[in-house]
Amino acid sequence: QQQVKQSPQSLIVQKGGIPIINCAYENTAFDYFPWYQQFPGKGPALLIAIRPDVSEKKEGRFTISFNKSAKQFSLHIMDSQPGDSATYFCAASRGGSAGNNRKLIWGLGTSLAVNP
Amino acid sequence: NAGVTQTPKFRVLKTGQSMTLLCAQDMNHEYMYWYRQDPGMGLRLIHYSVGEGTTAKGEVPDGYNVSRLKKQNFLLGLESAAPSQTSVYFCASSYLTGGDQPQHFGDGTRLSIL
């Protein structure tokens, strides 16, 4: 059972467009929601993360929107560039005793292509 | 500062052969992880370690063993490789609690089992 559902599976936009990637979760105990970016041939790297006490977080051209009541969060990429072409993963985790339960639950990923 | 280094980068094995994948990190991180990545399956956690000398099972541990004899190294072993273990394997590390601290990934080991 996929605890974090990510959509779409793939996405193509033109340069300057605003791709939006959505994630939905089931476990209300999740309290940390990161997004990772992965370029071909490389490992994922943390892009931006949010906690449920805020509804939005911006870092440069990347924005996370968080809707706690709907149990959804999304990544928006403003003024997208061909260099943003990558696979994006959302994830979620929850606190546990002594931090031992803080494993990431990953979405399946979205392959983004930004055409020039 | 190399971060997380995985060796080898590529390997082809025959069914039934054994091998060990090595992960080394130079960031003094407590937590280390092994994932496999398959098309359409995202990242699946194989095993992880919360400190030197400790290991724990993840989501898909069958067919794999791990060891963390030194804090900076995390080894993933395949005792008898099977074609279903063809995948890209990623190692990651993080400081203390792994969930809300960034996981730093290596560039992966591409493993094919014939």
Q: What confidence score (pLDDT) does residue A103 get?
A: 81
pLDDT, mean of residues B24-31? 94
Structural domain boundaries enclosing B40:
4-113
| Distance, CA of A4 to CA of A106 (rounded, Å) | 6
Q: What are the structural domain ranges in chain A? A: 4-115
Which is more confident, A27 or A95?
A27
Would the CA dihedral through A38, A43, A47, A53 be positive or negative?
A: positive
State the pLDDT confidence band at B1, using cuts at 50, 70 and 90: low
CB-CB contact of B99 with A94 (8 Å): yes
**Helical H segments across chain B, by residue range:** none
Q: Say which residues have a Cβ less than 8 Å from residue A69's Cβ, sequence separation at least 6.
A: none
Q: Do B98 and A102 touch (CB under 8 A)?
A: yes
Q: Which of A8-12, A100-104, A107-111, B64-68 has the lowest mean pLDDT?
A: A100-104
Q: Which amino acid is at A13?
A: V
Q: What confidence score (pLDDT) does residue A20 get?
A: 98
pLDDT, mean of residues B30-50? 93
Selected residue of A106, A108, A110, A111 to mutate for chain B interface (largest B Cβ count, 10 A): A106
Q: Which amino acid is at A55?
A: S
Chain A residues with CB under 8 Å of B105 CB are 42-45
Q: What confidence score (pLDDT) does residue A102 get?
A: 67
Q: What confidence score (pLDDT) does residue B97 get?
A: 62
Q: Which fold has domain A4-115?
A: Immunoglobulin-like (2.60.40)
| Distance, CA of B17 to CA of A111 (rounded, Å) | 34
Domain at B80, CATH number: 2.60.40.10
Q: Token pair of B112, please?
A: 């094919």
pLDDT, mean of residues A57-78? 96
On the question of pLDDT at B30 being above 80, the answer is yes
Q: Do A107 and B42 touch (CB under 8 A)?
A: yes
Q: Which of A112, A10, A27 is nearest to A68 (CA)?
A: A27
Chain A residues with CB under 8 Å of B99 CB are 32, 93-95, 99, 101-104
Q: Say which residues have a Cβ less than 8 Å from residue A94's Cβ, sequence separation at least 6.
A: A27, A29, A30, A31, A32, A101, A102, B99
pLDDT, mean of residues B62-85? 96
Domain count, chain B: 1
Q: Which of B64, B106, B59, B56 is nearest to B85 (CA)?
A: B64
Per the prediction, chain A carries an average pLDDT of 92
User: Computed over its alpha carbons, how large is the radius of gyration of chain B?
Assistant: 13
Q: What confidence score (pLDDT) does residue B101 get?
A: 79
Q: How many CB atoms lie within 10 A of CB A100?
A: 14
Q: Which of A17, A33, A14, A37 is nearest to A25 (CA)?
A: A33
